[in-house]
Amino acid sequence: MGTVHARSLDPLPMHGPELGVQADDIESAHIEPEPNQEVLENKDVVVQRVHIDGLGRTKEDLLTYEIADVFRAKNLIDVMRKSHAARQKLLRLGIFRKVEVVIDTSRGADALPNGLDVTFEVTELRRLTGSYSTMVGNNEGSMVMGLKLPNVFGRAEKLTCQFSYGTKETSYGVSFFKPQPGNFERNLTFNAYKVTGQFPWSSLRETDRGISAELSFPLWKTSQTLKWEGVWRELGCLARTASFAIREESGHSLKSSLSHSMSIDTRNSSILPRKGGLLKIHQELAGYTGGDASFLKEDFEIQLNKSLFWDSVLSASLWGGLLLPIGERATSIADRFYLGGPTSIRGFSMYSMGPQSEGDYLGGEAYWAGGLHLYTPLPFRPGKGGFGDLFRTHFFLNAGNLCNLNYGEGPQAHLKKLAECIRWSYGLGVLLRLGNIARLELNYCIPMGVQSGDR
């Protein structure tokens, strides 16, 4: 279990004062209106001007797209609603520390009797912000430092640098984010990185040095991502006792791949949803744009959540994946699937099931896993309406399998092999939701269908 202690050098609140009734508004209700003032709540109005005060390096043309709907408002309530929506869009850009909205009657020679002026008072983020944190996990401690340059060129671009110095490994990365003006969900991201990971279940150490380019965009109700990645991978043995199969995998390789991801997420929460569903599909094709790794990789995830009686929630999940080598070269241990642990099949050690050699787990080219979960309130509802609502009782049933396939046998043989020797587990426990960041589980698990070599 890892712990994180973080402190931001420059806290960045992403919200400002909300539109609503303030104390001053209540007091002003007793003041007699001037003759030229009218009550406009239920009357047609015209937004004549929209001002944005406080701009420094931000380009005005970027903000035109975000506030355009304000001009389409027809009455005061509509103006307030559209102004609040525009404020949320401005905050979403990640370039303002604070955004306030002021609505007033129009003034000047060309002012209409029902004309309104809307003013957005903004405070830009600093040109450079930083953060640092310490992390402890996987038998390693590390210090993570980050630098962010928001709004680099004035159109919501962001440059991020991160450096991690650990007791065992050192990693770093640089990322540049560029959204399309008027369509924040459509954006480009460029990355350059060096990441080192240790995988004790395979006695493997992997160092990746790579670059990537991503294009993200919405399509109908889905989120789509196209990505190219080129990575130089260095695999090595983590211990002298590593098996011969791991030593054979050691060395350098170059992977150049194109991938596509699609997701639909209607859940009300990603940590502990009460309703909605999730569908993720990912494809990766390596070898056609260079490199010495050639494969086609497909995987998916489905999750459905349903609220039941007595404030309980039933959740069902299904995952699956297939790795198909292209050509005569075998797949790399770095590209295969792994199964086992609290994120897949509880009761089994992390990634410690399936094909293995002398105690080192080699991963598989095909897998499936499923889960059925029932979340209920704590018995007798202690702390109801307060801290006690963060806890839930958890009943679960997990199952899955991981194996390698002989692709000359046909689909029926593949399905038969995936249906053999199914690992499964069941149990119960208590769950604690840590805000919208993570959740902590304490479970009693009974693993079943354990095969030779599983942990």
Position 139 in a domain: no
Helix runs in 372-427, H state only: 411-419
Q: Is residue 391 part of a domain?
A: yes
pLDDT at 277: 96
With respect to residue 36, please indicate whether it lies within any of the assigned structural domains: no
Residues 109 and 186 in one domain: no
Cα separation of 167 and 140, whole Å? 6
Range of the domain at 371: 180-449
Tell me, yes or no, whether 352 and 243 share the same domain. Answer: yes
Residue 381 lies in a domain: yes
Q: Each residue of 331-348: pLDDT tens digit?
A: 999 999 999 988 889 999
Last residue of a domain, one of 78, 106, 124: 124
Say what the pLDDT of residue 311 is.
Answer: 87
Instruction: Give the tens place of pLDDT for each residue, 127-159.
Output: 999 988 887 765 667 888 999 999 999 999 999
The two tokens of residue 111 are: 């002012």
Token pair listed for 417? 């092999």
CATH number for the domain including 51? 3.10.20.310
- Same domain, residue pair 91 and 193: no
Total structural domains in the chain? 2
CATH at residue 416:
2.40.160.50
Give SS3 for 139: coil
What does the pLDDT read at residue 33? 44
Last residue of a domain, one of 79, 102, 124: 124
Per-block average pLDDT, block size 10, for the chain (455 residues)?
35 33 35 45 83 93 92 91 94 94 91 92 93 74 90 95 87 95 94 92 93 96 96 92 90 95 94 93 94 94 94 94 90 92 89 89 92 91 78 93 80 78 91 86 91 85
Instruction: Give the whole-angstrom CA distance, residue 17 versus residue 307.
Output: 34
Answer yes or no: do 107 and 240 share one domain. no
Whether 277 and 192 map to the same domain: the answer is: yes
Q: Which amino acid is at 286?
A: A
From the list 154, 210, 158, 162, the residue with the least C-alpha distance to 187 is 158
* pLDDT attached to residue 99: 95
Distance, in Å, from the CA atom of 118 to the CA atom of 67, rounded to the nearest integer, reads 10
Same domain, 188 and 254: yes
In a domain, residue 6? The reply is no
Contact by Cβ (8 Å): 71, 79: no
Q: Do 385 and 260 have their domain in common?
A: yes
Which tokens sit at 31? 């003041």
Within-domain flag for 156: no
* Residue that terminates a domain, selected from 124, 151, 169: 124
> Could you tell me if 118 and 230 lie in one domain?
no
104 shares its domain with 197:
no
Classify residue 435 as exposed, middle or buried by CB count within 10 Å of its CB (0-12, 13-18, 19+).
exposed
Burial class (CB in 10 A: 0-12, 13-18, 19+), 148: buried
Residues 6+ apart with CB under 8 A from 79: 45, 47, 70, 73, 103, 116, 118
pTM > 0.85: no
442 shares its domain with 364: yes
Same-domain pairing of 119 and 230: no
At 381, give phi and psi (nearest 5°).
50, 55
